[in-house]
Amino acid sequence: MSATAILANGRVLRYSFHERLVHWLAGFSYVYLLLTGLAFWSPWLFWIAVVLGGPTASRELHPWVGLIFVFATLLMYRMWSRQMHETESDKEFWRALGHYVRNEDELVPSADRFNAGQKLLFWGFLWCGILLLLSGLILWFPHLIPWSLRYLRYIAVIVHPAAALLTIGLFIIHVYMGTAMERGAFGSVIRGDVSTGWAKRYHRVWYEHLLRDAAARK
Amino acid sequence: MSQATLEIRAISGHSGSVPGAGVRREFDVCKLIDTTTCIGCKACEVACLEWNGLSFSETVFNNSYQTMPETQWNYWNLIKFNEHEREDGTLQLLMRKDQCMHCEEPGCLIACPADGAIVQYVNGIVDFQQDHCIGCGYCVTGCPFNIPKFSPTARKVFKCTLCVDRVTQGLEPACIKACPTGCLHFGTKPDMKALAETRAKQLREYSGFENAGVYDPPGVKGTHVIYVLHDASNPELYGGLPKDPHVPWAVSFWKKPLKWIGNIAMIGGLLGVFAHYLRFGPKIEPADEETPRQGGAAPRTGTRDPGGRP
Ligand code: HEM
Ligand code: SF4
């Protein structure tokens, strides 16, 4: 958390340059994987692969971009895993989920740097990423699997799309909240800072921590 | 067999209808392989390479007549040998010509995501169109007979075409033409089925093969390559011919229920967040210094507050 601080202009630095860079490395690689993956998922979406440089190119590049995505996910793990452990207040958050959904944020327990939903997103993407990597490797080289081990291919064709679907569910909510729903959140991952009001309302525990840190440093 | 038999019945990875399917009388072709009269001379293998312009592949020695373990991307037709010791201690040399079975329900075509990379003609031939193939290898997973093979050089998949180019011109496949014993036959499916049944009956009644029978597996709705076996109750003996082949259940599940569950979930998710926005709207960015309102209820977030933006 050393990189986050109260800025001179009164705003709060939420994500460092490194964090934003890793986020968008994961973001762009994921969107490419999603689009090319969907192209092979359904004949009705095959045109996506045509638009993205041809189906053969999409087939060749999808697994390579998958490796980039896994790399970005591992960087995220290194950056954030310590801040993603479940706490007591996360359990309260889930109990108060209805209030959160109805935008009654004053009835939702205040969160540390990440709230329970963000933690779910993080762990969901991490575990699904591992499943996608393992099944993706089999889908990458199906012809190298001997006939006697063919059940590995059968597992992979189920696990890969199933894990992808789980991430798509998380992704839809993540993008919706980050852009349309929670005003101010998108700027935090683009420019890096948020207003103090935003920090107090959604991540009060984190914000108070920052204030204490700043006071101690004086 | 004229051009009309090249009418397409099914297309891989295709959205929408199949042009021309079912407008004409169907005319199923079939290859019949009588394993009981095969002598393992491999003339069919050579004819296959010759006609299709493929170079000969290196052979391996594994203490039997088996020249290579399985068909390859550029070797579509292989005799599988098995020295089978019978219960009475006598030896039986089983030989089976292995190649694409041209299933009525082809697992490769069902699995393939590329529009037009695999087509099934009305006459039953399942043919790969390499110019549309993207080399994903889904067909390798879909096939219950281990037939489609990936070419690392072409980065596409190849297999037996049932000599579709010859059949279109009214010729029989090259392997049939080359067979010196007459154990290979080619004709319509009903004719070949009748011939096979006659031969199996002959084997049961006059040659002492009580279990002789015809291999035309119903699990894939029948095949356009059928076998006469001395022991139809044990096809596995013939170089691993599967007893009850069908499109792998994982592939069926992946291509039908999973697709539907996934599509409904994805569309539901998009509609869900959209409905949420309509009902509850955004969480408006709060003011920097919140001053709690006197007396009243706690300030509702999400209510529009023009002074709230920094
Ligand atoms: C982690 C590394 C990954 C690897 C190595 C990988 C590899 C593959 C391969 C080889 C295929 C077969 C077709 C093709 O090559 O395009 C495939 C299909 C697919 N991938 Fe990935 N992938 C990875 C990550 C992802 C991610 C993160 C998503 C998220 C949306 C995804 C979604 C899909 C989908 C939807 C399909 C099509 C499945 C189907 O046909 O039903 N993949 N993947
Ligand atoms: S590799 Fe097989 S499944 Fe994939 S596009 Fe080519 S023919 Fe279709």
Domain boundaries, chain B: 3-247, 248-282
3-state helix, strand, coil in chain A (%, to 5): 75, 5, 20
- State in Å: Cα B135 to ligand 2 middle: 5
B12 lines ligand 2 (CB under 6 A): yes
Q: What is the enclosing helix (H) or strand (E) of A92?
A: helix A88-95
Instruction: Quote the CA–CA distance of B109 and B143 in Å, as a whole number.
Output: 9
Residue with the two structure tokens 């292995």: B98
Please report which confidence band the pLDDT of residue B19 belongs to, taking 50, 70 and 90 as the band edges. low
Please report which confidence band the pLDDT of residue A3 belongs to, taking 50, 70 and 90 as the band edges. very low
Instruction: Quote the CA–CA distance of B190 and B28 in Å, as a whole number.
Output: 8
Please report which confidence band the pLDDT of residue B2 belongs to, taking 50, 70 and 90 as the band edges. very low
User: Cβ distance B45 to B77 under 8 Å?
Assistant: yes
- Which ligand has its closest atom nearest to the C-alpha of B138? 2
Closest chain A residue to B287, measured at CA = A197
Please report which confidence band the pLDDT of residue A5 belongs to, taking 50, 70 and 90 as the band edges. confident
pLDDT at B20 over 50: yes
Instruction: Quote the CA–CA distance of A189 and A112 in Å, as a whole number.
Output: 17
Chain A hits for B282, CB-CB cut-off 8 Å, are 180-183
| Out of A46, A183, A195, closest to residue B113 by CB | A46
Under an 8 A CB cutoff, do A103 and B114 touch?
Answer: no
pLDDT at B296 over 70: no
CATH number of B3-247: 3.30.70.20
Q: Would you call A148 an interface residue with chain B, using a CB distance cutoff of 8 Å?
A: no
Chain B hits for A39, CB-CB cut-off 8 Å, are 113
Q: What is the 3-state secondary structure (H, E, C) of chain B?
A: CCHHHHCEEEECCCCCCCCCCCCCCCCCEEEEEECCCCCCCCHHHHHHHHHHCCCCCCCCCCCCCCCCCCCECCECCEEEEEEEECCCCCEEEEEEEECCCCECCCHHHHHCCCCCCEEEECCCCEEECCCCCCCCCHHHHHCCCCCCEEECCCCEEECCCCCHHHHHCCCCCHHHHHCCCCCEEEEEHHHHHHHHHHHHHHHHHHCCCCCCEEECCHHHCCECEEEEECCCCCHHHCCCCCCCCCCCHHHHHHHCHHHHHHHHHHHHHHHHHHHHHHHHCCECCCCCCCCCCCCCCCCCCCCCCHHHCC
Tell me if residue A12 falls in helix, strand or coil. strand
**Averaged pLDDT, A23-46:** 97
Put simply, whether the predicted model's pTM sits higher than 0.95 gets the answer no
The per-residue pLDDT for B23 is: 55
The conformation of residue A218, written as its DSSP 8-state character, comes to -
pLDDT at B305 over 50: no
pLDDT, tens digit, 9 for 90 and up, residues B168-189: 888 899 999 999 999 999 999 9
The per-residue pLDDT for B130 is: 96
The per-residue pLDDT for B297 is: 42
Mean pLDDT over each residue of chain B, to the nearest integer: 89
User: Cβ distance B142 to B176 under 8 Å?
Assistant: no
Burial class (CB in 10 A: 0-12, 13-18, 19+), B118: buried
Please report which confidence band the pLDDT of residue B14 belongs to, taking 50, 70 and 90 as the band edges. confident
The per-residue pLDDT for B291 is: 45
Residue with the two structure tokens 């909240």: A177
pLDDT at B105 over 60: yes
Q: Residue B266: which residues within 8 A CB-CB, separation 6 or more?
A: A165, A168, A172
Please report which confidence band the pLDDT of residue B285 belongs to, taking 50, 70 and 90 as the band edges. confident
Distance linking the first and last C-alpha atoms of chain B? 79
Instruction: Quote the CA–CA distance of A199 and A203 in Å, as a whole number.
Output: 5
From B136, B156, B253, the mutation candidate for ligand 1 (largest count of ligand atoms within 8 A of CB) is: B136
pLDDT, tens digit, 9 for 90 and up, residues B236-279: 999 999 999 999 999 999 999 999 999 999 999 999 999 999 99
* Cα distances (Å, whole numbers) of residue A154 to A142, B218, B285, B303: 10, 22, 48, 51
The per-residue pLDDT for B298 is: 42
Enter the tokens of residue A55: 């189906």
| Interface test mutation site (partner A, options B141, B267, B279, max chain A beta carbons within 10 A) | B141
Lowest mean pLDDT among A43-47, B16-20, B26-30, B118-122: B16-20
pLDDT, tens digit, 9 for 90 and up, residues A121-159: 999 999 999 999 999 999 999 999 999 999 999 999 999
B128 lines ligand 2 (CB under 6 A): yes
Please report which confidence band the pLDDT of residue A218 belongs to, taking 50, 70 and 90 as the band edges. confident
Closest chain A residue to B247, measured at CA = A154
Under an 8 A CB cutoff, do B269 and A169 touch?
Answer: yes
What are residue B82's DSSP bridge partners? Answer: B94
Q: Check residues A207 and B20 and name the one with the higher pLDDT.
A: A207
Under an 8 A CB cutoff, do A168 and B266 touch?
Answer: yes
Q: Would you call A214 an interface residue with chain B, using a CB distance cutoff of 8 Å?
A: no
Query: Residues B59-93, buried b or exposed e (16+ Cβ, 10 A)?
Result: eeeeeeebbeebbbbbbbbbbbbbeeeeeeeeeee
Residue with the two structure tokens 């990423």: A129
Under an 8 A CB cutoff, do A173 and B273 touch?
Answer: yes
pLDDT, tens digit, 9 for 90 and up, residues A156-186: 999 999 999 999 999 999 999 999 999 989 9
pLDDT, tens digit, 9 for 90 and up, residues A186-217: 999 999 999 999 999 999 999 999 999 888 88
Helices and strands (DSSP H and E) totals, chain A: 10, 2
Enter the tokens of residue B191: 């004719």
**Averaged pLDDT, B9-13:** 87
Domain range A15-84+107-217, its CATH number among 1.20.950.20, 3.40.50.620, 3.20.20.70, 1.10.3720.10: 1.20.950.20
| Interface test mutation site (partner A, options B72, B276, B290, B304, max chain A beta carbons within 10 A) | B276
Burial class (CB in 10 A: 0-12, 13-18, 19+), B242: middle
Closest chain B residue to A12, measured at CA = B288
Please report which confidence band the pLDDT of residue A95 belongs to, taking 50, 70 and 90 as the band edges. very high
| Per-domain boundaries in chain A | 15-84+107-217
Report CA dihedral (B261, B267, B268, B269) to the nearest 10 degrees. 110
pLDDT at B125 over 80: yes
